[in-house]
Chains A and B, each alone.
Chain A
Amino acid sequence: MDTGVENATPFAGIGASVKRKEDLRFLSGRGHYTDDISRPGQTHCWFVRSPHAHARIASLDTAAAAGMPGVVAIFTGADMTGIGGVPCGWLIHNKDGTPMREPPHPVLAQGKARFVGDAVAMVIAETRQQARDAAEAVTVEYDVLPAVGMDNALTPGAALVHDDVPGNLCYDWHIGDEAAMRAAFSGAKHIVTLELTNNRLIPNAMEPRSAIGDYDPTTGDHTLYTTSQNPHVIRLLMGAFVLNIPEHKLRVVAPDVGGGFGSKIFHYIEEAAVTWAAARIARPIKWTADRTESFMTDAHGRDHVSVAKLALDEHGTFLGLHVATRANMGAYLSTFATSVPTYLYATLLAGVYTTPAIYAEVKAVFTTTVPVDAYRGAGRPEATFLLERLVDVAARDTGIDKLEIRRRNFIKPDQFPYQTPVALEYDSGDYFSTLEMGLKAADWAGFEARRAAARAQGKLRGIGISTYLEACGIAPSAVVGALGARAGLYEVGTIRVHPTGSVTVLTGTHSHGQGHETTLAQLVCDQLGVPFDKVDIVHGDTAKIPFGMGTYGSRSLAVGGSAMVKAMDKIIAKAKRIAAHLMEASVEDVEFANGEFRVAGTDKTKAFAEIALTAYVPHNYPIDEIEPGLEETAFYDPKNFTYPGGCHIAEVEIEPETGHVRMVNFTAVDDVGRVINPMIVEGQVQGGVAQGIGQALLEACVYGSDGQLLSGSLMDYTMPRADDLAPVSVATHTTLCTHNPLGVKGCGEVGAIGSPPAVINAVVDALKEYDVRHVDMPATPAKIWSIIHGSAQRAAAE
């Protein structure tokens, strides 16, 4: 692939496809995950969970269970006095300025269960099987209440998920200029309307969630081992808001984590329960979800229902956009749930287009389903799917070519920085180039011949495009603070140079499959000239790393990497002073390149390792002017979001007899800013595209009208398999981010954001002879067949 980076260094610096150092342990089965940890005297916990979507707990009897073999303790909501509920990290305000409804999320249910899987008791025993046996002996009498879903939550008279939240409405929020939007619509030649859903997804990280609470009664120290993407955030939320444990007495460790995709950002009740109960029984407690619990209790993703309207003039120029969305919050507010359908969604509705007037309104509703929160892309896939479907439908309705209508409305390269009508200011991008590269790579021009060849075989072939943009590198603290975020979103890095010149990096980001131990090490190789095998990355333990915010929103390199660069700048500045002293030169004359300090214009040099040794063995050292040691920490708060974008093209073939959609080809051309490791970028994009294809064709979380999870296992929830996918060709086209020192934008989510509309646009294109305007995701065989079959029936009736 084209890395956009010239002169890739022969060592493991920026631009080199260094093999992932973490893969030796991952691929040989020697990763060390939370469930691999066993603490001395450890007990095991099993949660009693509600089998009903919505029910009052009439009675709860633990007496029989308490007498079962091996039972150590049983706790219910009634025992959990004096502690808080699990907090929400983002305050959203209603249109009228009042704050959102924020009902408590108790650690164990208090009087009422609000989704299938809501925890009502925890049973602790010597073994996992004993805990599970005893949990079955806990008797709970429920008064079952009506389930509340997206279809009825806002209906007048609907049952209330929370008694003190009228109408199940969490908030009614808006953004943009309504008057400008209405003016634009009043003068429009065309108004294109599209109703669409964004299907609810279940994350399904390979490693289920797990948590171990540990407590040392002699010191009062609490430790939580957990499957988290952000251990410091968990420590702050759980310590300060739930359990009232000061930070110096609470350590949170997130060791190897087997996939997160957002679902392991959030502070879950199980973490608080095992930490709290471990102190009560003064023994460690382990809980690990089985796959059924993962389906029932991991925060789900997406779940929007929207009406979108686009106003255009006679040339197909976009004049205005109006979007009204209902977003499902589930039963309780998960950590970042409220930000996803607002600031991570509606701010993206300009996309790559110059639409001058945009107005979006979002109603967030409570339902008796598991909480919904960020899942790979978080809000941006929802915005992208809506916009890129709407643009295709606009092309169809106006008769303008789908590429031409995009080109006419693209933000042009000379318009950057570009201020959108929905808060964001894009710093850089080149949508024309990524489009042209994508069209060429996908052989768009040759498609009609391929369509004809498929037709001769009885197949319907379609091609679809998505020219997308996203905002990541989360986030400028002051900006998000003004928008309701209750945390700063900077990142921290410590560069610890050891006496012989090797380096340990302490980063606040967290790697759960992304390859940080490789990519971040490459930054050190590049900037300090230290060999790759002399750099280690440490993350995931609040006892080791400074207070950092973790990994989500494609932020680790753009924010965490930038913090490391700042810290390395400090290292180099100090080392130059030491080198100047050793070489008896003025510090202004000392240059640093390729791991070597040189007095400019001379052959006097000092290796980086020599300086490091001098810093720690300061015998010949300007001790009055410079402190010994070579370790620096920097905090980096980004000035703006980063804006990756690009062009995704999907090609599909439909078998009309069965409705089966086969992915034939997928082309991704992404601008992710400077590429540090092209191999890892390619893998990240391919993984994201696989998830996007999963959403578009396969995955559907389905609750029954009684609130039961019908897609509650891999027997009924379709995760993409290798043969569901197509070859995914990945290329990059780089425009640099203008406001971070590396020029990087982030690549973790682009695949999942850009791909779903490309796939559905291809499906709709394949079905064009059936006069299909839109297909909601997932495009399953049954759905496609019913569209074709329904069309045939209509034709027969006419």
Chain B
Amino acid sequence: MYDFDYHKPTTVADAVALLAADPDAKAVSGGHTLIPALKHRLNKPTSLVDLSGIAEMKGIKQVGNAIVIGAFTRHVEVATSALVKSTIPALAYLASHIGDNQVRNRGTIGGSVSNNDPAADYPSAVLGLGATIHTSSRKIPADEFFLGMFTTAMEPDELLVAIEFPIPEKAGYAKMKNPASRYVMAGAFVSKGPAGVRVAINGAAACVFRQAEMEAALAANWSPEAVAGIKQPADDMNSDIHGSAEYRAHLVTVMAKRAVAAAG
């Protein structure tokens, strides 16, 4: 990697100030995307702003009818949280199936959602539960947050601080893993609750998206059979050496069906 300066602020305000002062600075959370990119010299930040010292970005709590998870909360903490398991078990399940133990012990929810990798797990839960993103300067509804591949509504000097998940009546997640990377080839997070009936699809396209036809079908009849016959058009699906667009489109239906079954 190239040389860079290193900062470890203790408040969100200090972190934002550091990022605002230097457009070539980068925030690092769990580092599971950024550090490999640095090692491959694909990225040349002037400085890294390490978020691990910011207490206000950590922890899981219930606020009214929502679970609020700090951005610097590691996957393992969400996976094992008694509060998450009792209120949104599908979210704990999702977290417990990200990568492997080493990834879950380092990676954070804020890092994953900010990065918006199309093959990441968490964006599907954020969109599929109709969560609200709390940043250093505002609150952004999930529906307005994910703009495209590796692109979100956040500004460069804006930090994701926490994510507020409304507690659903039921929710489920299912995914097919890429055989090599074990990232998501196609996944579906479905829920029914205060944010309505939602079906968020990850892995299959350039960005996580809502499957409106499936949502309508599930609103009328919440059952795996309701989505089993709905075909995802292949037009905007990803295609690579691991699978064609047609295969991924097919998997969208299979995973949605499984996610509904898991939700019960």
Chain A positions near chain B (C-beta within 8 angstroms): 132-133, 136, 292, 657-660, 698, 700, 702, 710-711, 714-719, 780-782, 785-786, 789
Contact = CB atoms under 8 A, between A and B. Distances in A.
A660 B247 CA distance: 12
B251 A658 contact: yes
A710 B239 CA distance: 13
B244 A782 contact: yes
A710 B254 CA distance: 28
Given A710-B241, A714-B180, 17 more contacts: A292-B40, A698-B179, A702-B241, A711-B180, A711-B241, A714-B181, A715-B180, A719-B180, A780-B242, A781-B176, A781-B179, A782-B242, A785-B250, A786-B244, A786-B246, A786-B247, A789-B250
Interface of B: 2, 40-41, 176, 179-181, 183, 241-244, 246-247, 250-251, 254
A292 to B, nearest CB: 7
A717 B247 contact: no
| Chain B residues touching A, majority SS | loop
B241 A716 contact: yes
A718 B243 CA distance: 13
B177 to A, nearest CB: 9
Residue among B180, B247, B254 with most chain A CB within 10 A: B180
B74 to A, nearest CB: 22
A785 B241 contact: no
Residue among A658, A698, A702 with most chain B CB within 10 A: A658
| Chain A residues touching B, majority SS | loop
A782 B40 CA distance: 29
Contacts, number: 47
Contacts of A785: 247, 250
A780 to B, nearest CB: 6
User: Which 3 A-B pairs give the minimum distances between C-beta atoms?
Assistant: A782-B243, A718-B180, A715-B181
A218 B136 CA distance: 66
Contacts of A711: 180, 241
A252 B181 CA distance: 38
Contacts of A658: 176, 251, 254
B119 to A, nearest CB: 10
Contacts of B180: 698, 711, 714-719
A716 B244 contact: no
27 contacts: A136-B41, A292-B40, A657-B254, A658-B251, A659-B247, A660-B176, A698-B179, A700-B241, A702-B241, A711-B180, A715-B180, A716-B180, A716-B242, A718-B179, A718-B180, A719-B180, A781-B176, A782-B242, A782-B244, A782-B247, A785-B247, A785-B250, A786-B244, A786-B246, A786-B247, A789-B246, A789-B250
Contacts of B2: 133
Nearest to B257: A657
Contacts of A717: 180
Contacts of B247: 659, 781-782, 785-786
B181 A716 contact: yes
Contacts of B40: 292
Contact of A780 (B41, B179, B246): B179
Nearest to B248: A782
B33 to A, nearest CB: 12
A110 to B, nearest CB: 28
B202 to A, nearest CB: 16
Contacts of A716: 180-181, 241-242
Residue among B244, B246, B247, B254 with most chain A CB within 10 A: B247
A204 to B, nearest CB: 12
A136 B40 CA distance: 13
B232 to A, nearest CB: 14
A86 B202 CA distance: 49
Given A658-B251, A698-B179, A781 B241 contact: no
A781 B176 CA distance: 10
B194 to A, nearest CB: 32
Contacts of B250: 785, 789
Nearest to B179: A718
Contacts of B241: 700, 702, 710-711, 716
Contacts of B242: 716, 780, 782
Nearest to A660: B176
A151 B93 CA distance: 45
Contacts of A715: 180-181, 183
B8 to A, nearest CB: 23
Residue among A659, A698, A782 with most chain B CB within 10 A: A782
Contacts of A698: 179-180
Nearest to A780: B179
B243 A781 contact: yes
Contacts of B254: 657-658
Nearest to B243: A782
Nearest to A786: B247
A716 B180 CA distance: 5
B142 to A, nearest CB: 27
Contacts of B183: 715
B150 to A, nearest CB: 15
A700 B2 CA distance: 32
A711 B241 CA distance: 8
Nearest to B254: A657
A760 B2 CA distance: 46
A700 B181 CA distance: 14
